[in-house]
Chain A
């Protein structure tokens, strides 16, 4: 009797240990491994102050019908920190209202400006206009309905520098404005680089400084 009694609980103990182990294993298997892809929002085991009562940029706010915490600006609003007193810089036009044919007085032409222009042109313009400016960029190859003109056609070669600033700022035809993506200083850098591209395509051997000409003819750096 005694022996029987003592063996039963130990069998249950074994069973429950097995049950425990298998649920643990099943649980771990269900929980998956680190790095598995999941569309479920992350669980925060300890909430602390992870979600505070303030809004970060672009956050959702259910109060408004369009759910945007950041409200649209009223038409015509000017950012407080934007100094618009330099008319040439900000509009690309001189005091007489005509497009500038050169950089505004406050922008200095140097290697840094051109390097910046090259980089920014590569980011914002080359998808359509191509790095060389001929206008066969990847988006054009992928079916842009109106292909952009080549910067090397006579009409655009003759344009004053301010015109390029103006096109970036306000767009032209089917090309949308890039003012929100490209700040003012970068627009001038891009315009300057655009001019460099144009000049590069009609340069004569005589335009090249003596020192570099030799190097060019040699064909090695």
Chain B
């Protein structure tokens, strides 16, 4: 009688036994590595309608971030500056050859067409974020946006994932600075080590490492980032 299962089928259990876990590990790896915002979002560098360079304006010319993002300390939204802000300078500048690089801004200012800047950093709509709270707590731009002053075209440097938010909320201390340093892009780890937030008398919000943990009583004057109270960010 002919055999129904040829001989090689004996190896199927072995192949399944070895192959399935390997394949499963592969799937887990692919999801872990590629579905993470560290892969999907970090490095997003859209093409912008104007070759505007932070490296030139904020880096070489040393403009403070708040000159353009002037609502960042007052509102939840940092806001892309209106054309009028660019025109403060560009109305009185003639860049010669390079003037055409600024022309879209001038046209837009004169009402021809709005500039369509492409948003780089974007949280899902179900997550709430507020710039002013973070700045008034003494968290600097570069902790969340990287070295913007070295970018010709802005890209996303941090994942903005929930775990990334929580990593800082659980232990904000290494990311706290004196208030006058929040827009300092060159603030380094060594500066952070030298600064003791708990002892700074000028802080608007006092810092006490003890109080930054789930379940501790909230006090109005101490920093208290949401950690386990989901509605802090999902409101």
Q: Which residues of A contact B (CB under 8 A)?
A: 2, 5-6, 9-10, 13, 24, 28, 31, 33-46, 48-52, 54, 56-58, 60, 66-68, 119, 122-124, 127, 138-139, 142-146, 174, 176, 178, 180-183
Contact = CB atoms under 8 A, between A and B. Distances in A.
Contacts of A40: 44
A92 to B, nearest CB: 20
B40 A42 contact: yes
Contacts of B194: none
Contact of A176 (B7, B64, B87, B180): B87
* In the complex, the 8 A-B pairs of residues with the closest C-beta atoms, listed nearest first: A50-B124, A52-B125, A123-B64, A181-B70, A42-B41, A6-B7, A45-B35, A57-B77
Interface stretch (B89-97, B133-141, B163-171, B209-217): B89-97
Contacts of B124: 44, 48-51
B46 A41 contact: yes
A61 to B, nearest CB: 11
Interface stretch (B78-86, B184-192, B223-231): B78-86
A40 B45 CA distance: 8
Given A10-B8, A37-B43, A37-B45, 5 more contacts: A34-B39, A45-B35, A51-B125, A119-B180, A144-B89
B94 A145 contact: yes
Nearest to A141: B61
A122 B180 CA distance: 11
A134 to B, nearest CB: 17
Given A31-B34, A57-B77, A176-B84, A127 B61 contact: yes
B26 interface: yes
- Contact residues of A: prevailing secondary structure: loop
Nearest to B180: A119
B52 interface: no
A41 B44 contact: yes
Given A38-B43, A39-B47, A127-B67, A58 B80 contact: yes
A13 B10 CA distance: 13
B88 interface: yes
A52 to B, nearest CB: 4
Interface of B: 6-8, 11, 15, 26, 30, 33-47, 61-64, 66-67, 70, 74, 77, 79-80, 82, 84-85, 87-89, 91-95, 113-114, 116, 122, 124-126, 155, 180
A50 B6 contact: no
A143 B91 contact: no
A215 B68 CA distance: 40
A182 B82 CA distance: 14
A144 B87 CA distance: 12
A145 B38 contact: no
Contact of B114 (A13, A41, A54, A68): A68
Contacts of A180: 70, 82, 84-85
Contacts of A45: 35, 40
A176 B62 CA distance: 20
A139 B57 CA distance: 10
A44 B161 CA distance: 12
Given A34-B39, A39-B46, A139 B89 contact: yes
A106 to B, nearest CB: 20
A4 to B, nearest CB: 11
9 contacts: A2-B7, A34-B39, A42-B40, A42-B41, A44-B124, A49-B124, A68-B114, A144-B93, A178-B88
B216 to A, nearest CB: 31
B203 to A, nearest CB: 14
Contact of B40 (A13, A44, A60): A44
